[in-house]
Structure 1
Amino acid sequence: MSFTLSTAIRRAAATAFTAALLVPLTACGGDDSDADDTGAKATESSTATGAPKADLTVLAASSLTDVFETAGAAYEKENPGTKVTFSFAGSQELAAQVQQGAPADALVTADTKTMDGLKGETGTPTVIAKNRLVIATGEGNPARIENLKDLADTKLKVVLAAPEVPVGRYSEQVLEAQKIDVKPVSEEPNVRAVLSKVELGEADAGIVYKTDAATATDKVDAIEIPDAQNAVAEYPAATLKTSKHTEAAAAFVAWLSTPEAQKLLQDAGFQQP
């Protein structure tokens, strides 16, 4: 009986000792498991650069069409698992879409006035680029247009963007400042529509952004407007408060100010903000 009790006591002590040794090991194992789970979740929800993964919709001014398509591809490559879809239109159309509750995550306009009118709908905007105006004419400049004053010639077919469109408002400002009266044959809803009219030969000239004229050098000539007579367009970018991917949207907007994005914008002819 004494042997059995002694044996039981020794076995109980050994079991307790073994259990004591296993406690810290189990605790460490639990930490590793949690860390692995956390890491897996982080991998699933974030990109390689730390930006959250998401399918983003960005409303952007028409004049950003070409450069943003390139920028979007660069951002997706840098952030695997994220997809950026752009919807391009005149800034006034984009503002209307935001006010009507269109599902989107970020907004980039071609002027601060339009963005300022949406303060209740957006986060704090950041200017990501600037632009200037040029006179677009047909290839070879058949009408021999040299400056803004030439646009007042009633024999010319001049097309401008509508006054509510940023480029139309800028055009109006520079023409009024120089006391030049231009009678446009049409007023278009965005800058690309103005450029198209000139490209197709439906207009002798139009006022567009420098960057837009640069996308059609094989079809139009760009007549420079002196800085003293020109206007500077600013492009603010902001997240939308209705976004379902606020962190991912903020990451994209912040990326637009990085050296990589700025190089793409400047290579396309945009000026530094």
Structure 2
Amino acid sequence: MNRSACRRRRSLRTAGTAAAALLALSGCSASGSDASGSTGDGLSGTVTVFAAASLQESFTTLGERFEKEHPGTEVTFSFGGSDALAAGVVNGAPADVFAAAGTETMKLVTDEGITRGDPSTFARNRLSIATVPGNPHRIGSLKDLTAPGLKVVLCDRTVPCGSAARTALAAAGVDLTPVSYERDVKSALTKVELREADAAVVYRTDVGAAGDKVEGVEFPESAQAVNDYPIVSLKDAPNPAAAEAFVALVRSPQGREVLTGAGFLTP
């Protein structure tokens, strides 16, 4: 399988069932490399990471670093809404590591007693408004999102970015009815990139990752809706040693450098 095919499949955004997750994850790694052999530290094989969609760029970079540091390993990702990923983990999807965009979503997994130890917070994230380039509607605040005829999308209420958006809107005293609720932050952002929506409330890290496809607008109420990102290895991880090593990389100074470079806040 070539690298581009792997990257397309690695960006899968659902994990509703173990069978679907296994099918989507098979055969793809962060670098597209062969996973044969083992490393001098004893690590080998695949480590499968279920991670919130907003972590896609940062974790892909860390996955490539992990594979380079541990020849003979490969890191396979499933990125999506934290709630769907949590459901997949609880229902037996073959994951080694779970990283969520909120502590409440992580609790869905820890309450099942299927984690290896306690989750640790490795990053934090704040919201931003994404508008089409040039911000033609002159959006400067959450209140501006209620302008007549403006098409705004939000993340679904069940995922952390949707919950954070509701918190921020409440803090601003804004009652907003979006044209759609999207399953994860990348889906919400894509609506703006394709100009199917005028604006979306997403994470500022995703605005940064989109480059010139969108324009970001900061708002003060985002300080009241900061999300913690916890990570944990799973009790029934198929590759527990590699799982622990990947979690350690995410929490390391090198991992923090990648995350802060993408706009995440330190915990």
Cα distance in 1, alignment partners of residues 82 and 42 from structure 2 = 27
Which residue of the partner structure matches residue 147 of structure 1? Answer: 141
Looking at secondary structure, tell me which structure has more helix per residue. Answer: 1
Q: Which has the larger radius of gyration?
A: 1
Picking from 101, 110, 124, the partner of 2:101 is 110
Deviations 1:220-271 (A, max 9, x none): 1000122675411111010111212212211211121111111111111111
Which residue of the partner structure matches residue 47 of structure 1? Answer: 39
Structure 1 range deviating more: 227-236 or 83-92: 227-236
Q: Give the aligned CA root-mean-square deviation in angstroms.
A: 1.6
Any idea what SS the aligned residue of 1:208 has?
strand
Which residue of the partner structure matches residue 271 of structure 1? Answer: 265
Cα distance in 1, alignment partners of residues 127 and 222 from structure 2 = 12
**Residue pairs, 1:234-253, within 5 angstroms:** 234-253=228-247
What TM-score do the two structures reach when normalised by structure 2? Answer: 0.82
Cα distance in 1, alignment partners of residues 222 and 180 from structure 2 = 27
Cα distance in 1, alignment partners of residues 174 and 136 from structure 2 = 22
Any idea what SS the aligned residue of 2:109 has?
coil
Please say if 1:259 is aligned against 2:253.
yes
In the alignment, structure 2 segments of 5+ residues that lack a partner are 1-35
* Contact kept? 2:38, 2:73, Cα under 8 Å: no
Picking from 84, 87, 90, the partner of 1:99 is 90
Q: What residue identity is the alignment partner of 1:72?
A: G
Structure 2 CA distance for partners of 1:230 and 1:201, relative to 1, 3 Å:
farther
Cα distance in 1, alignment partners of residues 57 and 144 from structure 2 = 30
Which residue of the partner structure matches residue 174 of structure 2? Answer: 180
Q: What residue identity is the alignment partner of 1:83?
A: E
* Contact kept? 2:126, 2:222, Cα under 8 Å: no
Please say if 1:231 is aligned against 2:231.
no
* Contact kept? 2:123, 2:229, Cα under 8 Å: yes
Picking from 115, 124, 131, the partner of 1:122 is 115
Q: CA deviation at 1:154?
A: 3.0
Cα distance in 2, alignment partners of residues 167 and 216 from structure 1 = 17
Which residue of the partner structure matches residue 85 of structure 1? Answer: 76
Which residue of the partner structure matches residue 31 of structure 1? Answer: none
Q: What residue identity is the alignment partner of 2:80?
A: A
Deviations 1:73-114 (A, max 9, x none): 011111111110011010001011011101110000000111
Cα distance in 2, alignment partners of residues 65 and 51 from structure 1 = 27
What TM-score do the two structures reach when normalised by structure 1? Answer: 0.80
Which residue of the partner structure matches residue 200 of structure 1? Answer: 194
Cα distance in 1, alignment partners of residues 222 and 196 from structure 2 = 30
Aligned length: 229
Q: What residue identity is the alignment partner of 1:207?
A: V
- How much identity, in percent, do the aligned residues show? 48
Q: What residue identity is the alignment partner of 1:173?
A: T
Cα distance in 2, alignment partners of residues 59 and 108 from structure 1 = 6
Cα distance in 2, alignment partners of residues 228 and 109 from structure 1 = 19
Q: CA deviation at 1:65?
A: 0.7
Structure 2 CA distance for partners of 1:148 and 1:81, relative to 1, 3 Å:
same
Q: What residue identity is the alignment partner of 1:184?
A: P
Which residue of the partner structure matches residue 155 of structure 2? Answer: 161
* Contact kept? 1:51, 1:251, Cα under 8 Å: no
Which residue of the partner structure matches residue 8 of structure 2? Answer: none
